[in-house]
Amino acid sequence: MTVAEQLRLEQTAFVAAVAGELTDFLTARQSVMSAISPDIDPIMGSISNLVTGGKRLRALMCYWGWRGAGGSASAQDVVTAGSALELFQAAALIHDDIIDRSDTRRGGPSVHRRFSQLHTSQGWALDGERFGHAAAILTGDLCLSFSEEAFTEIGEHAAAGSRARLIFNLMRAEVMAGQYLDILEEVAGPVRDRAGAVSRAQSIIRFKSAKYSTEHPLALGGALAGAPNELLRGYSAFALPLGEAFQLRDDVLGVFGDPVTTGKPAGDDLREGKRTVLVALAMDQATPEESAFIDVKLGSQQLEAADVTEIRRIIVDCGALHATEVLIGEFGAAAFAALEELPLDELPKTALRKLAEVTVSRAS
């Protein structure tokens, strides 16, 4: 069997195992929640919908971190860890969509929008939007609780004080800190210090997304398999720049991506007011008039198609898009160089290389 064939079989088996674990986990919790009240079923349905499908990037990074550190294929510990990561990702998406006022997720209504629609369809009293937000917050909180519960099921290798537990806890705390810095930047960034906007945006993507998308999941798998500190440091040297390239690519897609591919309306990041590295570079490199135009239009829910087109033009003409692509290339190159230095067998190294290639070069 070739390395490519083994990789495909092993990765397919792992993804299927994670899907099965999530189904079993949520089915068991469904029974508990339904016993409280059948009215809670929409909450459980929302969680199940979000953890079904997706790219499984975090779970796969965890798996190959595990395999690279000598963990056996299809072991239960790494399957359970992958499931916990998927539940955490779902919780983060639910809350992120509320924060960003995003009505779509993967081509359909976001969770808070689904609950608002439920309110309308049932003809319930009071404010449907407020109900949608409140219900989605609680859904995200329950999903966070499930993530913790799932991770605890690993047992002694994820117990308090273990390296894996420390990584899992740090990952969750950093995402929350990064989210706060993100919303702070939206309201205070341009006012307090326009010159530092690019560096702040880079810091935000590191803690809000890059670390928990790639670095921590990879290290988590390694720690569960008993990886030495030197290997975990090597994992970080590879996965952190990869995660930063991943988020920068996501930011480009949020402005220039095809809605059919991204599952979100064209220019949705602009309506949400995201002050990404791409936007920060544009405001720094554009003319004062163009920068002011972006500043006024960014975050407007009434942003028209013509405004999106104009902001895109400014981003391209001032060189911000090119500069972002250069950064993606630099981070990607750093990741691939670090990967080559990792003392891994051919199979996990090939798997991580392929994950990195897909992550850096996602199509619009």
The tens digit of pLDDT for each residue in 129-139 reads 999 999 999 99
**What does the DSSP 8-state code read for residue 71?**
P
- What pLDDT score does 54 carry? 83
**Are the C-beta atoms of 238 and 335 separated by less than 8 Å?**
yes
pLDDT interval class at 107 (50, 70, 90) = confident
**Are the C-beta atoms of 227 and 236 separated by less than 8 Å?**
no
Predicted confidence (pLDDT) at residue 148 exceeds the cutoff of 60: yes
Query: How large is the average pLDDT for residues 47-69?
Result: 95
User: How far is it, in rounded angstroms, from Cα 110 to Cα 104?
Assistant: 5
Share of the chain above pLDDT 90, in %: 80
Query: How large is the average pLDDT for residues 36-58?
Result: 94
Return the bridge partners of 109, or none.
104
Q: In which element (H, E) is residue 36 found?
A: helix 3-36
pLDDT interval class at 300 (50, 70, 90) = confident
Predicted confidence (pLDDT) at residue 358 exceeds the cutoff of 60: yes
- What pLDDT score does 194 carry? 57
Tokens of 201: 């945006």
Structural domain total, the chain: 1
Q: What CATH number is associated with residue 290?
A: 1.10.600.10
Question: In this predicted model, which residue has the larger pLDDT, 259 or 57?
Answer: 57
- What pLDDT score does 330 carry? 96
Which are the contacts of 229, defined by CB distance < 8 A and separation ≥ 6?
Answer: none
- What pLDDT score does 233 carry? 98
Return the bridge partners of 294, or none.
none
- What pLDDT score does 364 carry? 47
Mean pLDDT of the chain: 93
Query: How large is the average pLDDT for residues 167-181?
Result: 95
Which are the contacts of 172, defined by CB distance < 8 A and separation ≥ 6?
Answer: 88, 144, 212
- What pLDDT score does 135 carry? 97
Q: Which domain does 147 fall in, by range?
A: 3-360
pLDDT single digits (tens) 185-239: 888 855 555 558 888 999 999 999 999 999 999 999 999 999 999 999 999 999 9
Share of the chain above pLDDT 70, in %: 97
Which are the contacts of 22, defined by CB distance < 8 A and separation ≥ 6?
Answer: 51, 52, 83, 86, 87
Predicted confidence (pLDDT) at residue 63 exceeds the cutoff of 80: yes
Question: In this predicted model, which residue has the larger pLDDT, 244 or 273?
Answer: 244
Return the bridge partners of 105, or none.
108
- What pLDDT score does 114 carry? 96
Q: Which of 145, 172, 154, 156 is nearest to 29 (CA)?
A: 145
Low-confidence winner among 7-16, 77-86, 221-230, 259-268 (lowest mean pLDDT): 259-268
